[in-house]
Structure 1
Amino acid sequence: MDLLYILQIIIIAIWLMLPAYIPNPMAAVFGGGRPIDHGRYLQDGRRILGEGKTYRGLGAGILCGLLIGALQTALTSRNIAIQGVQLPSFGPDITGSLLVILALSIGALCGDMFMSFFKRRLGLRRGAPLPVIDQLDFVLGAWVLTYILATDWFIANFSTEIIIAVLVITPVLHVVTNIVGYLIGVKKEPW
């Protein structure tokens, strides 16, 4: 494999994942307010999700994922290429694209919420690190929901090379964005 091919795979991987990458940090930026679990506890005496998962954050995350996906759809309709790479579309038409973009965005947020639920069951406090899982929970959520709702699109776009690229790139991007979020005061921890 030559360096140009690897660069092309990385560009496509990031392009395809943008509607999943954007929602969680934007949920943190615009979040707050009423928690999704309404402050409820399970029988184990621990919160269902915790204070960090709010309706406002969920809505803002989905909206931001939708907006970035709409921008990407507009660019692909103009056959924009980056570094000679033809960027893939999110569907054959507006309806198909909207379904894929929403599945990536909502799936990412659901994956993150599911992991919060799991972390509470382990007795981990809000913001406690859970290496690897913290970096990939939203990816798995995005992929599962997208596979369920747009199977053909998912299979056509997420080749083995793209999947590997996402699994390698995402932890690096996650760490960098968390550090930036911490430095600008959006996150309480740099992980």
Structure 2
Amino acid sequence: MVIALWLMLPAYIPSPCAALFGGGRPIDGGRTMADGNRILGDGKTIRGFVAGSLCGIILGMMLFWMGDIQVFGINLPSFGDSVFSAFLVTASLAVGSLFGDMAMSFVKRRIGKKRGAPLPGVDQLDFVAGAWLITIITSPAWFFSNFTSSVALAVIIITPLLHITTNIIGYLLGVKKEPW
């Protein structure tokens, strides 16, 4: 579980940072599709995407530069064997997580769900799917050597719990309009 949390930190941090630092011009520019619904909606902004991505990348690079770390006697894996590979991995996790979230926003608009409407299970794992997909494309050897089946299963189990907890905190702080 510790390794799962460690490896996902660059993917976990972009969404709350996008909510915290976002706002402004929506990525879809306010455009709608033929179905009359917005492409993504006002919740996906350029500033949020950039800020969230940068926060995830910066955190990932800080974790890389910390070097060999042990927590509870567990050696935590590195995000790469060079600055370039670590940047590629952390950028893939961070940007991929936001793309996964945006992809699900697109799907939710197509099925008639309004901004903030819950889609249990999917809302909690869409960003994981995006982060993993982009990282598999850019750094397959790193991904498969670190996200073993037990680590991947731990991510799938703990992520919904973390997601719900952080959303409630964001709601209480006034950063989010809904507690889910």
- TM bucket normalised to smaller: over 0.9
Q: Structure 2: give runs of 5+ residues left out of the alignment.
A: none
What is the CA distance between 1:107 and its match in structure 2? 0.3
SS in 1 for 2:34: coil
Q: Structure 1: give runs of 5+ residues left out of the alignment.
A: 1-9
Q: Write the distance in 2 (CA, Å) between the matches of 1:88 and 1:176.
A: 26
Q: Share of identical aligned residues, percent?
A: 58
SS in 2 for 1:107: helix
* Equivalent residue, structure 1, for 2:16: 25
* Equivalent residue, structure 1, for 2:39: 48
Structure 1 position 125 matched with structure 2 position 114: yes
* Equivalent residue, structure 2, for 1:7: none
Give runs of aligned pairs for residues 72-151 of structure 1, distance below 5 A. Answer: 72-75=63-66, 77=67, 79-151=68-140
1:187 to 154, 167, 176: 176
Instruction: For 1:25, give the aligned amino acid.
Output: P
Deviation string 1:7-29 (CA, Å, 9 cap, x unpaired) is xxx10000000000000010000
Instruction: For 1:94, give the aligned amino acid.
Output: V
Structure 1 position 36 matched with structure 2 position 36: no
SS in 2 for 1:34: coil
Q: Write the distance in 2 (CA, Å) between the matches of 1:71 and 1:93.
A: 13
Question: For the aligned residues, what is the CA RMSD?
Answer: 0.5
Q: Write the distance in 2 (CA, Å) between the matches of 1:69 and 1:89.
A: 10
